[in-house]
Amino acid sequence: MTRASLSSPGRSDSVLIGRLQIATYAAVCLLIFLVPLGIDDDFLLNRIARYLVLGMVAMALALSWGYAGILNLGQALSFGLGSYCMAMALKLRTVPVHTGSEGLPDFMVWNNVERLPLAWVPFQSMPFAIIAGILVPVLIAALLGWFMFRGRVTGVFVAIITLAALVVGNLLIIDLQSYTGGFNGITDLAQLELFGLVFDAYSASTYYLVATCLTVSLFACLAVTRSKAGLIFQAIRDDERRVRFFGYDVAVFKILAMSVSAAVAGLAGMLYTVVMEFASPTFLDVPLSLSIVIWCAVGGRQSLLGALLGAILIAGMQGALSESEAFLESWTLVMGVTFVLVVLFLPNGLAGLVTLIRNRLAQSSRRSEGAALRPALAEVSASKTGDKS
């Protein structure tokens, strides 16, 4: 047997696995698009759309944590900034009863603000607001990453710094009450209108908007992971010093991973404002950020789809249990036990269970192929022995 024949099965297996992965992602996205066909309850449809948005932000964390090894405990910062960018634009489009003189937001009137702040003026343009909702989180993530990774900060110190940045952002939102609404956030928002379409939070159009953005983000992140940059991300996660030894600028790739993750989280934050119809400082709070980490860990941090489905599953369970009379006081205990069991028995999350089953099936197929080949090999060996004699 030649060297090429020995290497070709591995390549074919890799191609097959890649195609199966794409097919699985496409099937899940198709199922998401089919959900409204079987649901007549607008409130339930709105809730599912909210879970899909939370799945997006968990998927974004999987890109930086699971693939590049960057544990960002401040992922909610990008999410919240995107949310506020959209809320600012929609607030300037509210009906007059929710605004004061010269179209000022109501909370500014209550705080004796006489003119629209300069930071709010560009948000009179919806295209600017959408671009800002993505670029502002990216710029802040890139700036934070530049300071950390140029200084070769790694491990738990990255988690602490990102968590501290989240706390600072949350405090600024609360303290700047005259410009951000403070503890109350930004409420009484207009409905999003794009290309002549009005996206009511409880309509199927908003659900399809979320599903479309989710699908595009999922396949865009998948393309990143399958690119050369994605391979370098994984190499950095496994052994950062070796990647640096081969001449790659590790800091640049870490900043890139963190920035792409922030872009997806910012987009998710904008969609969350559209679905929830308000923006709140709780979107930049520590509990939400830690919840994102838990969702990602339960689903599988080394799988984009696993993190996405993990967030949907856990958020859905949390919502169902917290509203159930039987678990009204004990739902947090049930969720805690679930997390502990997953961490103990599935360290790679739910996606790791799928990988384990796939590997077992592959091993069994190889054994069956080997058993089928043994008689042929024995016959070939016997014929060679006969020729020699």
Digit-coded pLDDT (tens) for 65-122:
999 999 999 999 999 999 999 999 999 988 765 566 567 888 888 888 888 899 999 9
Alpha-carbon gap, residue 273 to 84, rounded angstroms = 8
pLDDT (0 to 100) of residue 4: 42
Average pLDDT, the chain: 86
Q: Is 197 helix (H, G, I), strand (E, B) or coil?
A: strand
Alpha helices in the chain (DSSP H): 3-34, 42-62, 75-91, 106-110, 126-150, 156-175, 177-180, 204-226, 228-238, 240-245, 250-276, 286-299, 304-322, 331-345, 349-388
Give me 280's structure tokens: 């709140």
Q: Residue 36 carries which side chain, given as an amino acid letter?
A: P
User: Distance (Å, rounded) from C-alpha 178 to C-alpha 171?
Assistant: 14
Measured CA to CA, the distance from residue 136 to residue 153 in angstroms comes to 23
Q: Are 302 and 288 in contact (CB under 8 A)?
A: no
SS3 category, 194:
strand
Inform me whether the pLDDT recorded for 124 exceeds 80: yes
Both tokens of residue 306?
Answer: 């696993």
Nearest to 313 by CA among 287, 351, 276, 347: 351
CB–CB of 51/275 below 8 Å? no
* Cα distance between residue 34 and residue 200, in whole Å: 19
Name the amino acid, one letter, at 288. L
Give the pTM. Answer: 0.87
Token representation of residue 292: 């994102």
Tell me the per-residue pLDDT of 192-229, one tens digit each, with 9 for 90 and over: 999 889 999 999 999 999 999 999 999 999 999 999 99
pLDDT at 339: 78
Distance CA 76, CA 170 (A): 10
Q: What confidence tens digit (pLDDT) does each residue in 334-376 have?
A: 777 877 887 777 777 887 777 777 666 666 666 666 666 566 5
Distance CA 25, CA 305 (A): 7
Q: What is the mean pLDDT of residues 309-315?
A: 91
Are 80 and 169 a contacting pair, CB within 8 Å? Answer: yes
Give the model's confidence band at 40: pLDDT under 50 very low, under 70 low, under 90 confident, else very high.
confident
Rounded-to-integer distance, Cα 177 and Cα 168, Å:
15
Average pLDDT over residues 147-167: 93
